[in-house]
Every structure is written in C-alpha cells, then in structure tokens.
Amino acid sequence: MTDVVEVYEPRRFRAWPYSSVSVYLKSLGLPSYAVESLMLAGRIEAQERGDVLAYGPEWIHIMGRGIIKETTPHGSARLWRTGMILGDISRVMLRKSSIDESGSRGSGTHIEFLHIGSCLSVTTRTFATLIEKEPVLALLLAQLTNERSRIVESVYGATKADPVVRVARLLEYLAIAPSRKGVDRFRWTRTGTHQVPTGAVTLHGPSQADIADALGLGRTTVEKAIANLRAVGVLTELAPGTRSNRYYEIVDFGHLRSLARSET
C-alpha cells in the first residue's frame, strides 16, 4: 500500500493578492495606467486550496496565481494555471445581460482552487465599459483568449497521443518553468521539512484524479503514466512517508518538455 501524505501548509497564504495580479498583468506588457484601471474596477482576492469562486456567469476571472479546476455544467473538467481567463468572453464584446432569453440565470461553471492563489474578477459590463475608455484592454482580452485556445488545442486536444505524452503536456503547462522566480527550496509534510533537489521544479495542487478528469483518462492510466515519468527520471521518486497525491517534483524539466512535444 502506497504512503500518501498531504503537503502541509505551515502558515496561511499571506502574499498580498494585489501584488501577484499586478505583476502578472504588467508582465504581459500592459501599461501601468490600464493595469490600475482594471484592478480598481474588479475584485481581487487571495484564495486557498478548496476555495470556490461563487460568482455568476456575468463575471470574467483572470488568474493572478495558482492552479484551478474548472468543471462545466456538462461535467467536463480542465486544469488551468496562472494567467488563464475564465468566463463568457462574448458577453464583454456584445454587452449581453447575465439573464438569458428565457429569463433565467445560467448555472455557469464550477471553479475550485487546488492550491493557494489569487484572482481578479470583473463583471462583463464593467470590462466592456473599461475597453471603451482604455482600448488597450481589448488587446489584453484577445491575448488571453488566444492563449486559452492554444492550451485547449495543445494540451487537451491531443486525445490520440500516448497517455504518458498527454500527462507530460499537462504537467509542463501547469508547472512553473525553471527560468521563473519563486521555485521552492523546501517543502513541508507532517513528517517534517524536506529539501527540494537543486534545479527541481515543483508543482502543487492537482491530484492524479484531477489529472485523469481533465484529460479524460482512467485514474489507473494516469497512475501508470506518473510511475513511468518517475522511472525515466523526470519526476522524483519520493521517499515513503513523504509522498503526496497533490505534489510533484520535476527534476528533469528538459526531458519532460521533450516528452510533451513528442508526437507519439
């Protein structure tokens, strides 16, 4: 029987949520005045694992930090990371009401945070009004929407690829690349503090069940794919008593990227 230990969070997430959202938006080349206008018009909140966004379908959400699981009313699920835009973008451009023709409010999607994070939420009508005042925000909307389409095609559209390749593509997308700041040096479990291998990229949040749901694969298939990635040295084989079903150490990001781009 496999030892499974949840990664212990030693203290509540205290990073100021405004900072993470601001840094992300500015990293896209958005002018400071446009960033300020968007942030002042929206709601910015810190989130913890298990938190759910309870806003209706008339809201647009931009992920400032974290990993979330989006489940549609039809039951399909996808995992997204920092930078994803969620919501009905057409409402922004068409300025639609949140009430459909039948007069009832749509149920929208279920958005759950799988790890600590932050999110900027803006109503579609407010976003449309901001675009009229700051046209550069229309470019932001197009940029984020195009990125979402790219991820859907490259990560979730490759249904005929080998399961190991599909899992590798999702992990590559969700993980923070080695060139990014903020790579973990230590992790905490109930058994104590453990040093992360030098150069390793850590990924917190999705369980193997979440990965299976997002890719439309069986849980056993995903478990075997993860075991394969450990066997070839892409993922660390964690010692008994320190394993977690929501934590991954990628020790060979280059190999992971190579597998993710494989056509087999």
Q: Where are the domains of the chain?
A: 17-156, 163-260
- The contacts of residue 121 (CB under 8 Å, 6+ apart) are 42, 43, 44, 45, 53, 55, 59, 60, 61, 62
C-beta of residue 251 within 8 angstroms of C-beta of residue 203? no
Q: Do the beta carbons of residue 42 and residue 122 sit within 8 Å?
A: yes
pLDDT tens digits for range 39-72: 999 999 999 999 998 787 789 999 998 999 999 8
The answer to whether 120 and 53 are in contact (CB under 8 A) is no
Higher pLDDT, 62 or 109: 62
What is the mean pLDDT of the segment spanning 3-21? 53
Task: Please tell me the distance from the alpha carbon of residue 232 to that of residue 176, in angstroms, as a whole number.
Answer: 21
Residue 155 binned pLDDT confidence (cut-offs 50, 70, 90): very high
Task: Summarize the confidence of residues 221-246 as an average pLDDT.
Answer: 85
Cβ–Cβ under 8 Å, residues 12 and 51: no
Q: What is the pTM of this model?
A: 0.83
DSSP state of 196: P
- pLDDT at site 13: 39
Give phi and psi for 137, each to the nearest 5: -70, -25
- Looking at residue 93, what is its pLDDT? 63
Q: Do domains 17-156 and 163-260 have the same CATH topology?
A: yes
pLDDT of residue 156: 95
60 touches 41 (CB < 8 A): no
**CA–CA gap between residue 220 and residue 231 (Å, rounded):** 16
Mean pLDDT, residues 239-262 taken together: 83
Owner of token pair 């494989």: 262
Task: Report how far apart, in Å, the C-alpha atoms of 65 and of each of 1, 20, 87, 177 are.
Answer: 34, 6, 17, 14
- Check: CB of residue 110 under 8 Å from CB of residue 51: no
Separation of alpha carbons 106 and 99, rounded Å: 7
Pairing mode, strands 117-123 and 43-47: antiparallel
Domain 163-260 has CATH 2.60.120.10: yes
The whole-number average pLDDT for the span 109-118 is 91
**Domain 17-156 is in which class?**
mainly beta
CB atoms within 10 A of CB 99: 12
pLDDT digits (tens, 9 = 90+) for 93-107: 665 544 443 333 345
Q: Smallest Cα–Cα separation from 82: which of 8, 182, 6, 223?
A: 182
